[in-house]
Amino acid sequence: MTQIALFVKLVALPGKRDEILEILEQNLEAAQEEEGTLAYAFHYDARNDDVLWVYELYTDQDAMMLHTKSDIFTAGFPKLQELLAEPLAANMVTPTAKGKGIPT
């Protein structure tokens, strides 16, 4: 089983960052119940008030797909896209075997 992680950059329309955060926080409620979702965290960008970063860690590809098919995610995603100034940028990565704070 290979863990999958995502770094997602969300660039909000001016003044819409907090609305995006509300949608993400709704997804967090669902992610809390997803056994294969190991980490799901949001971060403010230090240089741009309109940017949010999301870090996601899943036990494997199947767990990631389960998250993206959840009712809350599929309901919120179209709303999220309406608040973006540019398409979201997601980088999928595989954690290395060593690191601090990465659940195994």
Residue 47 pLDDT exceeds 80: yes
Q: pTM higher than 0.85 for the full model?
A: yes
CATH topology of domain 4-93: Alpha-Beta Plaits (3.30.70)
**pLDDT of amino acid 6:** 96
pLDDT in tens, 63-74: 999 998 888 888
Residue 85 pLDDT exceeds 90: yes
Q: Provide the mean pLDDT of the chain.
A: 92
**pLDDT of amino acid 103:** 74
3-class SS shares of the chain: helix, strand, coil, % to 5? 35, 30, 35
- Residue 78 Ramachandran class (φ > 0 left, ψ -120 to 50 alpha, else beta): alpha
